[in-house]
Structure 1
């Protein structure tokens, strides 16, 4: 059934990948990676174009996945997705908050889990799209670049590409988020100090 669907979409080339990527962000049970690879292998010179088509399709589908979560709620997650995916994504949300979206874009967990869950948790849509733009660009274009430069020989390289991206990108992202959190904390403390001083001076000036 799944292979039949992939074969059907593959017959449409780039349009098939666009459709697959669009619904991959909403409800498609198979990640777009599994169509991008055979299409890129068949036409390595078009690999970057295929990556672009898939990337655009994914970004356009992201708001629809978000709206499903927002208006249908958590009940839809367990009906259309694997329990292990939902449980893993939920733990990431509870532990890391909005960082889970950005990290989730690089994980092997299908991104639809995060688009729907973002809607369930009323996460800002514009921020979800921003994080999706970064994470999905890496996943689509790493595959595209490998096939563009190495041709069909890249088939063996991309088998574990999601794992490599996850291992390399996530530590960098965690470091970035920690630095940003520390910067924001210092900025808030710096803004808080003058207000405390002003409050103290106001107390001293108050007539006894």
Structure 2
């Protein structure tokens, strides 16, 4: 529903939570649900027309490079993007345009957006209107830091998995160094 409603859900949540802190968790749930409903819509927009637009404004080799990069590191971009003040619809449209798997987009969007919406909801529910100053001054930094931390952990885990995969591939391709070639003297 975010494509119909131009104001980002977080801003609406902040304003309404400040007015009624006792309903902050409910407002977080509505914002989270709206984001999950809007995610496939943005993906569809990107899938249908995103490639046409990007191909017109980008060189083919840049588009191919961006597609490969997003395919390889899309999870980190989506997770970090879910925490930043950048409108999330940019990431959903880009995901559709780059043919990123929808189920992965929804999974990472659900994780990132849940943390963002429910952090704000819990702060307002617990601290009431006093959370407004906390949110204004600190929340963006906290959410961005959490996003970078999650992205860093994801990147580290992925790097470790890739190293293990490369080690297992090289051990299968190359024979062990201490093996003896029995056929060398049989001519």
Q: Same fold (TM over 0.5)?
A: yes
Which of 147, 152, 157 pairs up with 1:180?
157
Please list, as runs of the form range in 1=range in 2, the aligned pairs for 1:60-139 lying within 5 A after superposition: 60-74=37-51, 97-98=73-74, 99-139=76-116
The higher-RCO structure (CA 8 Å, 6+ apart) is: 2
* Corresponding residue number in structure 2 for 1:151: 128
The 1:179/1:155 distance shift into structure 2, 3 A limit, reads same
* Corresponding residue number in structure 1 for 2:16: 39
Which of 118, 143, 165 pairs up with 1:165?
143
Which runs of at least 4 in structure 1 moved beyond 4 Å after TM superposition?
74-77, 198-201, 203-208
Find the residue that maps to 1:29 and give its secondary structure. coil
The 1:27/1:158 distance shift into structure 2, 3 A limit, reads same
The 1:164/1:205 distance shift into structure 2, 3 A limit, reads same
Cα drift, residue 177 of structure 1: 2.6
Whether the 8 Å contact between 2:83 and 2:116 is mirrored in structure 1 is yes
May I ask how many residue pairs the two structures share in their alignment?
Answer: 169
TM-score (norm 2): 0.77
Whether the 8 Å contact between 1:73 and 1:120 is mirrored in structure 2 is yes
The 1:135/1:204 distance shift into structure 2, 3 A limit, reads farther
In the aligned structure 2, how far is the partner of 1:204 from the partner of 1:66? Answer: 59
The 1:153/1:68 distance shift into structure 2, 3 A limit, reads same
Cα drift, residue 198 of structure 1: 5.8
Whether the 8 Å contact between 1:54 and 1:140 is mirrored in structure 2 is yes
In the aligned structure 1, how far is the partner of 2:164 from the partner of 2:136? Answer: 44
TM-score (norm 1): 0.70
CA RMSD of aligned residues (A): 2.9
